């Protein structure tokens, strides 16, 4: 992701939109951060740092400059004062206020940008993005340029807090397709197990995540039994949400179910989530995907103030969300409990006679 350093007057930005979301997704700042964001420099300007990416042109893959009315400026126009629509990937603290990621683009006047630092890597996705978008437009005239990134290799921002250590170690040694829509596949680097372990530990350390990842209390029998006591058939009801055509199976592969339509609109296999994602990331992702990956096309299926139909799952939004997380974290165990091997086993005649007697 790009990092831009700004020097701006106090009235450079209007107030950020309110964070009307789950309480655990609300972006906060410390008193020290808020105070420092209101300090002016020797030129009487505030300073700030933003992290993310500007909106890119689908024609050349370069940042789009907008005029004060929000209309893109022609590439050869170097005199009209421009602004960038900057997509925040991390919160920004500006003039005593918090701008959360993935909710509202920041319109940055180019005159306040002091320095730009490009993030490491991502050269190939940036290079081929215009071509990929042009191809997508032939298939879908209503395609959005920013969603083109979903067809390209993903950023590794917060990878350590996103995936489980054991899964990442195995994936580095033997990668496989995760998202059907991705055009480029992870190559096999033929690294050793020790090299993979070092990479796994690095990603976790960068994000301050536990490593190696072992297990979460939400996968224990005691947690599941306590939750089941309060809501009988809790995981079964959560499965109703997943299996409803208005929600998960509309796009995601689940077990042996493959949704109809182009691979372009299909999401990862949900039956593998329990071994791949960390619980905290999974909860935040289902709650509001754009807070974690701003360009994703995945919608908010369970808004914090509007639960899904009570016929599917009786409860409020938080209860439904927690049940979905628990189901996906325990998907293998839950589905095994629904499959009986006994009818498939044919008893030998002697044993059957003894049983009859």
The pLDDT of residue 74: 87
The pLDDT of residue 352: 55
Spans of the chain, pLDDT less than 50: none
- 349 falls within a domain: no
- 32 falls within a domain: yes
Per the CB < 8 A criterion, the answer to whether 338 and 236 are in contact is no
What is the maximum alpha-carbon separation in the chain? Answer: 98
The pLDDT of residue 274: 95
Q: Can you give the residue range of the structural domain that contains 62?
A: 2-117
* Cis bond before residue 212 (omega within 30° of 0): yes
- 96 falls within a domain: yes
pTM for the model: 0.90
**HSE, side-chain direction, 13 A CA sphere, residue 84:** 21
Beta bridge partners of 93: 98
Q: Count Cβ atoms below 10 Å from residue 217 Cβ, excluding itself.
A: 8
Domain containing residue 240: CATH number: 1.10.760.10
- 160 falls within a domain: no
- 136 falls within a domain: no
Burial of residue 326 (number of CB atoms within 10 Å: 0-12, 13-18, 19+): buried
- 200 falls within a domain: no
Number of domains in the chain: 2
């Amino acid at each position: 992701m790009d990092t831009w350093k700004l020097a701006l007057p106090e009235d450079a930005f209007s107030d950020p939109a309110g964070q009307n979301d789950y309480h655990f997704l609300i972006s906060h700042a410390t008193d020290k951060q808020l105070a420092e964001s209101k300090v002016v420099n020797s030129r009487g300007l505030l300073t700030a740092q933003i992290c993310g990416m500007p909106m890119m042109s689908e024609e050349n893959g370069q940042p789009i400059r907008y005029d004060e009315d929000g209309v893109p400026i022609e590439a050869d126009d170097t005199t009209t004062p421009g602004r960038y629509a900057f997509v925040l990937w991390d919160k920004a603290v500006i003039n005593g206020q918090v701008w959360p990621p993935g909710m509202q683009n920041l319109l940055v006047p180019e005159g306040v940008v002091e320095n730009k630092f490009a993030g490491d890597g991502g050269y190939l996705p940036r290079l081929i993005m215009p071509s990929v978008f042009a191809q997508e437009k032939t298939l879908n005239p209503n395609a959005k340029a920013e969603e083109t990134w979903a067809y390209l290799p993903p950023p590794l921002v917060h990878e350590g807090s996103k995936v489980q250590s054991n899964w990442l170690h195995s994936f580095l040694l033997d990668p496989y397709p995760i998202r059907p829509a991705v055009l480029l596949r992870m190559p096999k680097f033929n690294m050793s197990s020790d090299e993979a372990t070092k990479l796994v530990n690095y990603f976790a350390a960068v994000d301050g995540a536990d490593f190696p990842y072992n297990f979460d209390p939400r996968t224990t029998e005691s947690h599941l039994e306590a939750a089941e006591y309060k809501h009988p058939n809790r995981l079964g009801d959560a499965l109703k949400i997943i299996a409803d055509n208005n929600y998960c199976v509309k796009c995601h592969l689940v077990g042996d179910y493959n949704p109809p339509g182009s691979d372009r609109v299909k999401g990862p296999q949900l039956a593998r989530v329990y071994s791949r994602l960390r619980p905290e990331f999974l909860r935040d992702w289902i709650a509001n995907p754009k807070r974690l990956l701003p360009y994703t096309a995945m919608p908010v299926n369970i808004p914090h103030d509007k639960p899904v139909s009570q016929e599917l799952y009786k409860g409020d939004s938080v209860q439904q969300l927690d049940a979905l997380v628990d189901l996906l974290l325990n998907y293998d165990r839950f589905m095994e409990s629904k499959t009986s091997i006994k009818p498939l086993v044919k008893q030998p005649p002697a044993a059957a006679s003894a049983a009859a007697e």
